[in-house]
Every structure is written in C-alpha cells, then in structure tokens.
Chains A and B, each alone.
Chain A
Amino acid sequence: MIMKGQKRKHPPEEVEISDRSSPMWESQRQLVFSVSLNKYHHGQELPEPSLRRSVLIANTLRQVSLEAFAAPSVDIEVSPPPCSSSSALHKSVVTAKQHPAETFSNSHSALDSDFSLSAAISSILTALDSTIDSCSQAAPRTPLRSLENLSAPSDGGVAWVKQGLRGYGGGWEQQEEGREWESSTELMRCSYLSELTVEDLFQDIDTSLLERDMEVLGLIGSGGECPTGDDLLRYLPPFSSSPSHPFSLSLNQNLKCLPSLSSFGPLSSSLPSLSSPHFSSQNHVREGLDLEHLMEILVES
C-alpha cells in the first residue's frame, strides 16, 4: 500500500524507534501497517494459513492503528484513501445501509479524513477478525460436526433455527442432518437478498432454488463493485452486536459453524469479468465460487 506520490522510505534500521514524536516513528508505523496488511492477505491466500502467524500479524496491525490514534498530532498524509482503504470504506457504507444503528454510517458521513481513515482501519480490523474466524473455522469439520455445534444449547440462534425449521413443515425434523445444513446455509445467504421472504425459503428447499441463488451470486460476483450477499456475509460479525436483529444473530452463529462458506479457498483468481483488482472482490468471488462448488456437491448428493 504505497501512498500516491510518496516514496517508500528505507526502513530506519539502526535506531530503535520508540520516540513517538519523531517523524521516523510515523513513517515506520505506516510502513509496518502497510506491510502487515499485505502480509495478512498474502497469508490468507496460502493453502495452509497459519493461525499463529495470522494472529500475530493482526495483533501488530491492531497495535499499529491504536498507536496512530494515540498520537493525534501526527499529520496523516493520506488524503485520498488508498485502494484497500477505499474498499473498506465502501464496505462500511454497505454495512451502514444494512444497519443504521452501526457507528460506521456516522463516521462515514464525517468530513474529517481522520475519522474516515479510522473507520477504514476499524473495518479492516473487523474484517481481519472475521477472516481469522473463517480461517480457523476452515477446519476439517464434516457437515455432521457443524450440526453438532448447531445443537449446542448455549447458542440462542440455534434454537431459532430449529424452531423455524419445525414451524415450516411437519416432516422437517425427520429430514437428514445434511438437509438441515443446506437450509441454514440457504437462510444465511438469502437473508440479504431482500426479495426473498422467509416463507419462500421454506416452501421449496430443492435444487431449483439453490441453482437460482447460485446464478444470482455468480452474476453479482462478477460485477465487482456492487454490494453482494457474500460481501455482506463477510461482515456478519459486526451485525451480531445489534440485538434488534435476532435473525442476524442466529445467522451469525450459523456462519461460525459453517466454515466453507466464509473461508478463502485457494481458487485461482483468473476471472476475466472481474473489474476491480483488490482483494475484497477477489475474495468474495472466491467465496461465491466456493459456495457454487459446495452447492453442486450438495445437489449431486
């Protein structure tokens, strides 16, 4: 993340930068921030992301951004937000649309570039947290295993899912666990496609609905800039904090239990229809394709 017009400075090697007021400290802080960001994303693209490495990088990022806030006199040289920040800002706009109660909307409307940068940093960190989650959740859990998590009594959202399922069809409880998993997957993705109602979801949980959704996702995924279901999916964690949305809370629980959907699969990013090169669209298209792949497997089985 090189600032426009700014030469990348040679890292100050010999001096231990502990003096915050020194300009070298700020330049090193920015360097560490940019390196950490690149490093984190690169680590996620590896076939085997190391949890220890991701956690250490995320902690460093958090510390670096906290120290930025702790030094208000520092002149932030970034006036137009750099590309990854812009995506974060964009996402914060998206999240703001979904949940006006979120503070993102307020910070986004602020004119102060400091506020927008801090919002960008917070949203990046939240994204990193959610991807750590998805990364660590990317475990060899079978569908049965994830359902065992669903049935844990402490999950409030789980109860909702089960009730929902029971309420919509007598034979539902007798369905196999794989089908329950399918439907909860469905619920997660469909909640953000506002044209579908809850009744629609439960009327027909066969392949036709899934195929339609796949197409929808695929189309949106190639657009790049539009807010997509997957885009919003990645930002479920901040949503969980608003209690007025039991729907999102339960779905958040489900999201955590369903690793494949939010994990970054090692798909090649050679998609000709992709317009924006930055990581977020690549990732959510990857998720879209993961989802497609998953749906295909479920459909075939």
Chain B
Amino acid sequence: MGEDTDAPPTLNHRGFLPDHNYVTEADIISTVEFNHTGELLATGDKGGRVVIFQREPESKCEPFSQGEYNVYSTFQSHEPEFDYLKSLEIEEKINKIRWLPQQNAAHFLLSTNDKTIKLWKVSERDKRPEGYNLKDEEGRIKDLSTVTSLQVPVLMPMDLMVEVSPRRVFANAHTYHVNSISVNSDYQTYMSADDLRINLWHLDITDRSFNIVDIKPANMEDLTEVITAAEFHPHHCNLFVYSSSKGTLRLCDMREAALCDKHSKLFEEPEDPSARSFFSEIISSVSDVKFSHSGRYLLTRDYLTAKVWDLNMESKPLETYQVHDYLRSKLCSLYENDCIFDKFECAWNGSDSVIMTGAYNNFFRMFDRNTKRDVTLEASRESSKPRAVLKPRRVCAAGGKRRKDDISVDSLDFTKKILHTAWHPTENIIAIAATNNLYIFQDKLNSELH
C-alpha cells in the first residue's frame, strides 16, 4: 500500500470460520470493529453473539510472521425478545459494536441490537488464590480441628480464563431501530441513534438518557427522511454528525442547545439534474458516515459512491469515488430485488490516506486519496490461499472488451455482499466480513502506514 509499489500489496489471508456449503442465518456477521490499539477485533452476528479475536504477539523466532488473530472470547450478547404488545419479535442481531478506550486491565465494549445497548466487561483471569484456611483445595469446608496454623492464601498461576460480564444494560429508550452507537471522546458519554432520534447516555447511568436529536414530524404523514448513521467527533466532545436517507449530513454542536435539531452545518451536494432518475433519492441515502482520525474530514458511503467531505466546506464533497458505477444502469433491477437498500460501511486507514468500502461478489475496494489509485480485491476462499498475494479484480461492462479474469457485470453475485469492513487503527491490517466468514488481511511489505 506504499507509494513505492506498483504491484498490489502483499496480503496475508486467514479465514477463521469453518467452511459451510450453506449459510446459517445466525452466523451472518453483522458488524466488525477493531479496538483502539488494534490488539482486539470484535465481530457481532445475526444470532446475537459476539466473537472477540486477539492478535498474538509477534514471535521472536519468526520475525516475518506477524501476529495472527485467534479467538479470544465468545459470548451471547443479545437474546431474541418478544414485544407482546406489538406481537413482534425484537431481533437479536448485533447492529454495532464499539470499544471503549482501555483505562485499566479490562476491556469494555458496547454492543447493540435494534433496541437495547449493553456494556460488556472483558477481563482476564490467570491467577487464583490457593491456600484458604477454612476450605480445602476442592472447596470443601475443613474440619476445624485439623487447622493448627493460619496461612495467607497465595495467588498461583492458572490457565488463562477470559471472563465476559454485562455491566450495564441501556434499554427502553428507542422506539425505532438503533442503527448507530458512538462513544464520545470524553470517555464518559456515548450516543445511540435510531431512525428518528438520537439519545445521549452516560456510561454509568442506565435509567436515563437525553434526547439530543428528534426529527420525528408532528404529523407522521409528513415523514420523508430518517437518520441512517451518527458519530461523535474524535476529538471535540461537543460535536457529532448524523446522516440521513436523503443524502444530507448534519454537524451538530451540543453547546448550542439541549436539543440539536438545528444543525450547525449542513453538508449536501446539489443534485445533478442530468443524472436524475426515479432512484436518485434512494441511491443518495447515506449508509455510513465516519470521521477521519484527524477529525478534519468525513467519509460517507451511499449506494454507488464514497465521498470525502471537508468539515469546512458544506457545499460539496472534497472527493467522490465511484465504487461500482457499472450498476448505475441496473438500478431498476436492483430496486426490484431489494439490493438497492443494502447498507455498505466504509473505513479510513490509520493515516487517513486510504479509504475502503465493500461491494458485491465479495469484492471490496480501496482508494488511495493521494495517488488517486484504486484497487478491487476479492474476499473468498477460492481465490486466496494463506500467504498468497491478493489479485486485483476488474469488472467490465457487459459486452465490453473483456480481459482474462475479468468479471462481467451480469455475472456478479449479488448475494455475496461485503457490507462490513474495518481497518486496524495504526497498521495495514483489514478485517472483511463476507456473509458468515471473516477475512483478515495484512500488508506484510508495508506494515507501517505512509
């Protein structure tokens, strides 16, 4: 990924989950997130489970074998619930996971389904006390007549045990489906956003939250826009951004008012009248928004493009990247088969020089903002063996000049979609969720970011 290479980066492949011929619905990965150091990687799935991977420390005897990710812990975060009044099931699918910055030996993460957010504590236990006075090693009460002297219990090493416990449950604050959570840079509060409202929580207080954005119209017949994603600024604890289904971004300042319905900045690109179609609005719906690590830029993803915005310029994006423009003429079919409603996520690399997002056919795309080069790669078992170099892929228009190994638009598999991707905070390691498989790729040649 450095500037000194024309060839695609050397990427190492690890597939972690067993291969199935069919896809178990509950195993479909629904979110992927690295923690702040990149040592841990959490995935959530449709069955309400969270799997945490830990990077093995680099071994000295094999200097070129960089740390690989192995399963660290697995737990059931959310269970299916039933809303008796509505006669509807509340899905246990994990919509988002966000790590808290580490402040002591334990790790904390927030996980959310459609309605309830939970704070989990992940801690290690590798010692246990031995030598109790009243109990013997098996835990039976000792016969007191045999106790002749007092001893102080000593901590002895034991096999590593990872314990996960729910510390807080933040429930009953959302009427609509929660789509985003974001931890504030003050490390005390976080926000949760559903289709029409955004609530601000304190991490220690579960019975109360403050509503900071409410776009529900007085008359629900007038509803034409919903909130699709929201995130806090990485450095300024008073700023956050939320995106809408109409393709707008709103930057809000919590110092201005208790209820941030009025935005401080509105980012919207004027519509190109020549490109207007019946589906213009649907494809303009922003599916993900991410602040850059610097806090200066915003990355948004809509159906066909990824855009980088400068916080200082509201009138139009700084850069627009076409993710799969060959789909533009297929929008009608994609509308019929519902693919047009797919919500793709996007990610920055650690230095904010490269952006990444997923596409169909298990393809994912990376765009280098400096060199303006882009690459399409595929996450699949067939096309990548461990330690093999990922080959760049190309999609050609139907009937166009086709090179070897090119894929025609009509042969794309729209059931294989890369919706969730994550980039290590400092290194060139990416995690790609392809339906029920997790792929982790490492750039060996250029592990440090440029």
Given that A55-B225, A140-B83, A141-B85 are contacting pairs, would A60 and B278 also be in contact in the complex, using a CB cutoff of 8 Å?
Answer: yes
**Interface pick from B263-271, B326-334, B436-444:** B326-334
Contact call B85/A140, Cβ cutoff below 8 A: yes
A178 to B332, CA, bound (A): 48
Residues of chain A lying within 8 A (CB to CB) of residue B332? 11-13, 28, 31-32
Q: Which of B321-358 contact A (CB under 8 A)?
A: 328-330, 332-333, 335-336, 338, 341
The stretch of A79-87, A110-118, A129-137, A192-200 in contact with B is A129-137
Which of A165-173, A208-216, A258-266, A277-285 is found at the contact surface with chain B? Answer: A258-266
> Is A237 located at the chain interface by the 8 A CB criterion?
yes
Query: Is the beta-carbon distance between A18 and B224 smaller than 8 angstroms?
Result: no
* Contact of A138 with B226 in the complex, beta carbons under 8 Å: no
Stretch of A43-51, A156-164, A222-230 contacting B (4+ beta carbons < 8 Å): A43-51
> What residues on B are CB-neighbors of A101 within 8 Å?
none
Give the distance in Å from the alpha carbon of A15 to the alpha carbon of B335 in the complex: 16
CA distance A47 to B88 in the complex (A): 6
Whether B85 pairs with A52 at a CB distance below 8 angstroms is no
- Say yes or no: A47-B285 contact (C-beta < 8 A), given A52-B245, A64-B278, A130-B221: no
Task: Write the B157-193 contact mask toward A (1 if CB under 8 angstroms, else 0).
Answer: 0000000000000001001110000000000000000
Partner of B175, one of A13, A29, A141, A290: A141
Decide: A52 and B285 in contact? CB cutoff 8 A: yes
B83 and chain A: residue at smallest CB distance: A140
Complex partner residue of A48 from B89, B196, B274, B333, CB under 8 angstroms = B89
For B176, give the chain A residue with the smallest CB separation. A51
Q: Does B389 contact A (CB under 8 A)?
A: no
A98 at the interface (CB under 8 A from B): no
* Identity of the chain B residue whose Cβ is nearest the Cβ of A139 in the assembled complex: B175
Interface residue count on the A side (C-beta < 8 Å): 50
B195 an interface residue at 8 Å Cβ cutoff? yes
Complex interface: chain B residues within 8 A of A126 (CB): 221
Instruction: Give every chain B residue within 8 A of A58 (Cβ-Cβ).
Output: 224
Q: Is A63 an interface residue (CB 8 A)?
A: yes
Q: Chain B residues near A32 (CB, 8 Å)?
A: 278, 332, 335
| Known contacts A35-B336, A56-B282, A129-B220; A18 and B274 CB within 8 A of each other | yes
* Complex interface bits, A121-157 against B, C-beta within 8 A gives 1, otherwise 0: 0000010011011001111111100000000000000
A59 at the interface (CB under 8 A from B): yes
Among A52, A140, A237, the residue within 8 A (CB) of B221 is A237
Question: In the complex, how many residues of chain B place their beta carbon closer than 8 angstroms to a beta carbon of chain A?
Answer: 45
Once the chains are docked, how many angstroms separate the CA of A293 from the CA of B86?
11
Judge whether A16 and B328 touch: CB under 8 Å: yes
Nearest Cβ on chain B to A28's Cβ, whole angstroms: 7
A139-B330 in contact (CB<8A): no
The smallest beta-carbon distance between B78 and chain A, in angstroms, is 14
Counting CB contacts under 8 A, is A17 at the interface? yes
With contact pairs A56-B245, A129-B221, A133-B220 given, residues A266 and B88 touching in the complex (Cβ less than 8 Å) = yes
Q: Which of B90, B224, B274, B335 contacts A35 (CB 8 A)?
A: B335
Answer yes or no: B279 CB below 8 A from chain A CBs: yes
Contact of B278 with A48 in the complex, beta carbons under 8 Å: no
Task: Verify if B276 is at the interface (C-beta below 8 Å from A).
Answer: yes
The CA-CA distance from A32 to B115 in the complex, in Å, is 33
Interface residues of B in 90-134 (CB under 8 A from A): 90-91, 114-115
Q: A263 and B221 in contact (CB under 8 A), knowing A31-B332, A59-B281?
A: no
Question: Which residues of the partner chain A approach B224 to less than 8 Å between Cβ atoms?
Answer: 55, 58-59
Interface string of A241-269 (1 = CB under 8 A from B): 00000000000000010011001011000
Asked if B88 contacts A13 (CB within 8 A), the reply is no
B196 contacts A13, C-beta separation under 8 Å: no
Given A51-B176, A55-B245, A56-B341, A263 and B86 touching (CB < 8 A)?
Answer: yes
Q: Does A97 contact B (CB under 8 A)?
A: no
Residues 193-235 of chain B: 1 if any A CB is under 8 Å from the residue's CB, otherwise 0? Answer: 0011000000000000000000010011111111010000000
> Does A53 sit within 8 A of B, measured CB to CB?
yes
CA distance A32 to B277 in the complex (A): 11
A267, B276: Cα distance in complex, Å: 40
A14 within 8 A of B: yes
CA distance A140 to B173 in the complex (A): 10
> B277 to chain A: which residues have CB within 8 Å?
16-18
Residues of A within 8 A of B225 (CB): 55
* Selected A-B contacts with CB under 8 Å, 22 pairs: A11-B332, A13-B329, A15-B329, A18-B276, A28-B332, A31-B332, A32-B335, A39-B338, A47-B88, A50-B177, A50-B341, A56-B245, A60-B278, A129-B222, A133-B221, A140-B115, A141-B85, A143-B85, A259-B86, A260-B86, A266-B88, A293-B87
A: which residues have CB within 8 A of B?
11-18, 28-29, 31-32, 35, 39, 47-48, 50-53, 55-56, 58-60, 63-64, 67, 126, 129-130, 132-133, 136-143, 237, 256, 259-260, 263, 265-266, 290, 293
Which residues of B are at the interface with A, using a C-beta cutoff of 8 A?
A: 83, 85-91, 114-115, 172, 175-177, 195-196, 216, 219-226, 228, 245, 274-279, 281-282, 285, 328-330, 332-333, 335-336, 338, 341
Given contacts A136-B216, A290-B87, A293-B87, 12 further A-B contacts (CB under 8 A): A11-B332, A51-B195, A52-B226, A56-B282, A60-B282, A67-B278, A129-B220, A132-B223, A139-B86, A140-B90, A141-B85, A260-B85
